[in-house]
A and B are shown apart, each in its own frame.
Chain A
Amino acid sequence: MALRFLALLLICQLIGETLVLWIGLPVPGPVVGMLLLFIGLVLRGAVPEGLGTTTDTLLAHLSLLFVPAGVGVMLHLAMLGDHWLAIALALVLSTLLTLAITGWVMTALIRWQDRRHHPED
């Protein structure tokens, strides 16, 4: 992974964090950084080869990066307290519903748009 592309990612994040603090945007700095890099790629019209390699390496292990925060759940297990059953059921059922309904709506809308653009099919 090329050092200058790692620096590029950090610079985008830094500008993102700064903008969020200054303007008070309702999104995290790294997400703004993602948008900035995205705009840069659109303007440039291509992904520099070294950048692609760097981001692919980083994203191949994206799951790992959530582990330290995940272990932090141990701090809050007691806080679930008397309501643990309500919280557990709400988390499980709501996640199932959100997944299924978002998936269905998106599938239906993709079909609708395909039909609109190719009415002869």
Chain B
Amino acid sequence: MPADRSLDALWVYLATRPLLHLTLTLVVYLLADALFQRSGRRALLNPVLVSMLVLIGVLLITDTDYQTYFDGAQFIHFLLGPATVALAVPLYRQLDRIRRLWLPILIAMVIGALVSATSALVIAASLGATRETLMSLAPKSVTTPVAMGIAEQLGGLPSLTAALVVLTGVLGAVIGPALLTAVGVRDDRARGLALGVSAHGIGTARALQTSALAGAFAALAMGLMALISSVLLPAVVRWLFPV
């Protein structure tokens, strides 16, 4: 403990230790999740979105930089790796249903990957975005590490891509289920696949909350999307924007 026992010194001490921001992330998420459940799972009160907004607000108000925050929050972030590996279990549990539908899955995946990249590129280009922004935007529906690699290869900014990927995931998780119901997509296999294709891991997390079947199809879609996009996106970009 610091020798100076004033509140200010205590704050300085805690703010530089991982414990504070680790605990803060966990508590804010638990409160956001409680709010989400209490509200009858209102889409706009998505716990990831609410937690992000609250934590960004707290960091801005307390003038804390992201690196200091991440020194604590990295212990949560780290679990993304083993959690991704863990998706093999829901996948395996639905193996029969997936195997029966391998051709529909493959066709829907390729179409979804093409629609995601092409529509984002065409819309942003027609609104005057620069080439660098476009190349950062193209892999927005792909899981973060792969998306950053694709953006770099295309000549985009990987760190901008990382932010766009998160925003896309939150967007898909917030509007996805209601939109799919509105356009008449009721089958959990199709709903899960659509969430995984458009909103990667955050969409998969949302799909898992709906049903194990939707979660398995979303996990499969997230993995395949990384593979398909790495192969297809460079070709799509060459076709839309020949240099």
What residues make up the interface of A, taking CB atoms closer than 8 Å to B? Answer: 6, 9-10, 12-13, 16, 26-31, 33-38, 40-42, 47, 51-52, 54-56, 58-59, 62-77, 79-80, 83, 85-87, 89-107, 109-110, 112-113
Contacts and interface: CB of A to CB of B under 8 A. Distances in A.
B119 A93 contact: yes
A74 B56 contact: yes
Contacts of A68: 25, 69-70, 73-74, 76-77
Given A34-B84, A63-B202, A90 B167 contact: no
B227 interface: yes
A79 B56 contact: no
Contact of B88 (A37, A73, A74, A101): A37
A71 B88 CA distance: 27
A42 to B, nearest CB: 7
B129 A26 contact: no
Interface of B: 25-26, 28-29, 33, 47-48, 51-52, 55-56, 59-60, 66, 69-70, 73-74, 76-77, 79-93, 95, 100-101, 103-105, 107-109, 111-112, 115-116, 119-121, 123-124, 127-130, 133, 137, 140-141, 143-146, 149, 157, 159-160, 162-164, 166-173, 175-176, 179-180, 183-187, 189-191, 193-195, 197-199, 201-202, 204-206, 208-209, 215, 219, 222-223, 226-227, 230-231
A97 to B, nearest CB: 5
Nearest to A39: B88
The A contact surface, by secondary structure, is helix
28 contacts: A9-B85, A13-B81, A13-B85, A26-B227, A26-B230, A34-B86, A47-B92, A59-B208, A59-B215, A64-B25, A64-B76, A65-B79, A66-B80, A67-B28, A71-B52, A73-B163, A74-B56, A86-B124, A90-B137, A93-B123, A95-B172, A95-B198, A97-B119, A103-B183, A103-B185, A106-B108, A106-B187, A107-B184
Contacts of B187: 106-107, 110
A95 B180 CA distance: 12
A56 to B, nearest CB: 8
A88 to B, nearest CB: 9
Contact of A51 (B73, B89, B176, B209): B89
A79 B157 contact: yes
A107 B163 CA distance: 31
A91 B175 CA distance: 12
Nearest to B206: A63
A40 B119 CA distance: 38
Given A27-B146, A68-B70, A106-B189, A95 B88 contact: no
A33 B113 CA distance: 23
A94 B116 contact: yes
B207 to A, nearest CB: 10
